[in-house]
Amino acid sequence: MIELQGIPVSPGVAIGPALVLDADGYRIPRCLVAAEDAAGEFARLTTAVDAVSARLETNRLETSAVAGANTGDIFAAQLQMLHDPRLHAELGRRIQEDFQSSAYAVSRVLNNYATALRRLDNPLLADRAEDVLDIEKQLLLELGAVSRQPLSDLTEPVIVLSHVLTPSETAGLDRRYVRGFCTETGGPGGHTAIVAKGLELPAVVGIGPFLDAIGSAAHVIVDGDRGRVIIDPDAATLEHYQLRLQQRQSLTARLAELKDLPAETSDGLRIQLSANIEFPQEAHACLERGADGIGLYRTEFLYLSSADEPSEEDHYEAYSQVVREMDGRPVVIRTLDLGADKMGHRPLVEQEHNPFLGLRSIRLSLRNLDLFRPQLRAILRAAVHGDIRVMFPLITTIVELRQARMLLNVVAEDLSESGIPYRSDIPVGMMVEVPAAVVMLDHFVREVDFFSIGTNDLAQYTLAVDRSNEYVADLYQSCDPAVLRLIARSIEVADANDTPIAVCGEMSSNPARALLLIGLGVRNLSVPPSTLHRVKKAIRSVTMEQCQQIAERVMKFQTARDVDLYLLDRLGDLVPELVLK
């Protein structure tokens, strides 16, 4: 049994067989061979090496003839690597002494080489890493070992173990078979984490290197509540987690009974409890769970999940589906928030040194009007079907907000001139997720109809901590007092101007933090659909006065740790059912 600790990003427990992905998403499960077959396995590798070697030599000759000897030398260098005696010794040891399959040995050894080269931080050597991975692929193909099947071709339940999973890869996981996942990299606030929550997949990220230690046919437990991953659990551990799984399932069933009850404190304060979605299909689950509306529709996932760049019609169809499904309830459509960890089809941005401080979100939309206009047209067109509101992300300056609003007006005029049905009188809001916006909120408040606080980015930019970086995960705290002060100030300004303000960052999906936000004056929360019932349960278990007392006390603390410990303690007193043992 191996116990690993990572960052819990999506709650729940999952148990199942491991599916190990290599860096490129190939499926190379760790397989062992019987001791008596090891020599034959090594011979298979030698044949594969010969075949790849012959192909590289042909490539070298042909390329040299066409493009000159310098270009042909690329293959000469690959040949040299392929015949490197240390490489052969390492492969031989793994296959003949550790009895690893040749494919698994190739995948591990060459990936390790490539990683070592990349770490040297030298662009020339980093290019060599690509050569190493190329050789890996060729050998795996020769061994008949790579299955180029996408993960969507699964037929049995698995727990995915991977070095990295991008938000779009995560979005592509087949929920019928993938029970959970864990990755070596990743941080607490990254979009991979958000998608995992959306899909209700227990997940742990930022574990550090561990894939090498995974045994053949490993069984895995993912504890998404505590960030633990257990490989090949012993009988007692397995029993413990099976019990946890049952307890969770029965709690989920009990909470589901709250579906048709309002999100109202026990002394009658009604809270608007909406849901965050990434895909139109999720709207159905939101309704099923009694959401008051969609408080955040992350529309960029239309880009991340489709093979081609979405057209205006694709946007229109998606938004119309959501707003029709929500049947008169408000739907807040956030315009594209591409960039940083969410890249679309075409390279909209050159490689940036600091992508989270770079050309992302509204900045990217305003500089790519051929991307932005179709989306705005589609939003205004879909608005004829229901209560659509538009929201701009990452607004930092008044100028950006004005530009975005102006474009919305221009697009409305175009639609009007073309005689296309649309609605232009929709509420326009902005996300409050950059400290500069909070500082200037008394000016912004005159130019928007509503605000929504994005605590994920607000914490990132206030604390100068990359939300998806595992090395600084401990510093990424949405309950840091500095973040809480910015939230409190935003609420104050909004209230003083009678402008609605919601919180749609992940902070509101934590029941104890939701109570704190209510105590600070928030009356509108938007949470992932999977957490709707928990948050509602917390709201229905307390009085307004209790929330205010929580807020009053919390605002006196100096550290995020003190805040979180106190909140957990209060939740234990007020809603013990929600505190997992």
State how far the Cα of 214 lies from the Cα of 457, in Å rounded to an integer: 35
From the CB of 398, what's the least distance to ligand PEP, in Å?
20
CB-wise, 104 or 392, nearer to Mg ion?
392
The correct pick among 454, 481, 511, 529 for binding Mg ion (CB under 5 A) is 454
**Token pair of 172 as six digits:** 């592509």
Q: Which residues are catalytic?
A: 191, 504
304 binds ligand PEP (CB under 6 A): no
From the CB of 454, what's the least distance to Mg ion, in Å?
4
244 carries a ligand binding annotation? no
194 binds ligand PEP (CB under 6 A): yes
457 binds Mg ion (CB under 5 A): yes
DSSP string, 294-309: EEEEETTHHHHHSSS-
The correct pick among 198, 233, 429, 454 for binding ligand PEP (CB under 6 A) is 454
Cite the DSSP H helix spans in 383-439: 398-417, 435-439
Give Cα 317 to chain centroid, integer Å.
24
The footprint of ligand PEP on residues 488-517 (CB under 6 A) is: 504-505
From the CB of 337, what's the least distance to ligand PEP, in Å?
5
457 carries a ligand binding annotation? yes
Give whole-number Cα distances, 519 to 55, 271, 487, 523, 546, in Å.
Answer: 69, 12, 12, 9, 8
The footprint of Mg ion on residues 537-556 (CB under 5 A) is: none
**Token pair of 570 as six digits:** 């209060």
456 carries a ligand binding annotation? yes
CB-wise, 74 or 473, nearer to ligand PEP?
473
State how far the Cα of 94 lies from the Cα of 62, in Å rounded to an integer: 35
From the CB of 551, what's the least distance to Mg ion, in Å?
23
Give the residue at shortest CB distance from Mg ion. Answer: 457
The footprint of ligand PEP on residues 417-436 (CB under 6 A) is: 433
CA neighbor of 263 nearest in space, from 3, 553, 522: 522
The footprint of Mg ion on residues 416-445 (CB under 5 A) is: 433
CB-wise, 457 or 470, nearer to Mg ion?
457
Instruction: Please count the other Cβ atoms lying within 10 Å of the Cβ belonging to residue 63.
Output: 18
Q: Which residues, in sequence order, are bridge partners of residue 430?
A: 392, 451
From the CB of 74, what's the least distance to ligand PEP, in Å?
41
State how far the Cα of 459 lies from the Cα of 38, in Å rounded to an integer: 53
CA neighbor of 476 nearest in space, from 493, 494, 463: 463
From the CB of 503, what's the least distance to ligand PEP, in Å?
8
DSSP state of 259: T
State how far the Cα of 5 lies from the Cα of 26, in Å rounded to an integer: 25
From the CB of 300, what's the least distance to ligand PEP, in Å?
8
**Token pair of 242 as six digits:** 């099976």
457 binds ligand PEP (CB under 6 A): yes
CB-wise, 278 or 433, nearer to Mg ion?
433
Taking CB under 6 A as the binding criterion, the range among 37-45, 305-313, 455-463, 572-580 that sits at the site for ligand PEP is 455-463
The correct pick among 289, 298, 389, 533 for binding ligand PEP (CB under 6 A) is 298
455 touches which of Mg ion, ligand PEP, none (CB within 5 to 8 A by kind)? ligand PEP
Secondary structure (3-state) at 550? helix
As a whole number of Å, the CA-based R_g of the chain is 26
State how far the Cα of 301 lies from the Cα of 568, in Å rounded to an integer: 33
CB-wise, 310 or 454, nearer to ligand PEP?
454
DSSP state of 479: T
The correct pick among 455, 531, 541, 546 for binding ligand PEP (CB under 6 A) is 455
Please identify which residue in the block is written with the tokens 């608007």.
272
What angle, 0 to 180 degrees and rounded to 10, lies between the N-to-C axes of helices 38-67 and 69-82?
A: 170
337 binds ligand PEP (CB under 6 A): yes
400 binds ligand PEP (CB under 6 A): no
433 carries a ligand binding annotation? yes
CB-wise, 41 or 433, nearer to ligand PEP?
433
CB-wise, 457 or 466, nearer to Mg ion?
457
From the CB of 436, what's the least distance to ligand PEP, in Å?
15
Give the residue at shortest CB distance from ligand PEP. Answer: 454
175 carries a ligand binding annotation? no
CB-wise, 361 or 546, nearer to ligand PEP?
361
For the chain, helix, strand, coil in percent to 5 are 55, 15, 35
State how far the Cα of 112 lies from the Cα of 132, in Å rounded to an integer: 10
Taking CB under 5 A as the binding criterion, the range among 210-218, 221-229, 253-261, 457-465 that sits at the site for Mg ion is 457-465
Q: Residue 11 in contact with residue 203, Cβ under 8 Å?
A: no
CB-wise, 192 or 455, nearer to ligand PEP?
455
8 binds ligand PEP (CB under 6 A): no
Give whole-number Cα distances, 143 to 47, 136, 169, in Å.
Answer: 9, 10, 26
Contacts 24+ apart (CB under 8 A), 114-117: 114/23
**Token pair of 66 as six digits:** 């066409």
456 binds ligand PEP (CB under 6 A): yes
Q: Around 416, how many Cα atoms within 13 Å sit in the side-chain half-sphere? A: 9
134 carries a ligand binding annotation? no
From the CB of 480, what's the least distance to ligand PEP, in Å?
14
170 binds ligand PEP (CB under 6 A): no
DSSP string, 269-281: -B-EEEEEESSTT
Residue numbers at the binding site for Mg ion (CB under 5 A): 433, 454, 457
Residue numbers at the binding site for ligand PEP (CB under 6 A): 194, 296, 298, 337, 433, 454-457, 504-505
Annotated binding site for phosphoenolpyruvate: 298, 334, 456-457, 467
Annotated binding site: 298, 334, 433, 456-457, 467
Annotated binding site for Mg(2+): 433, 457
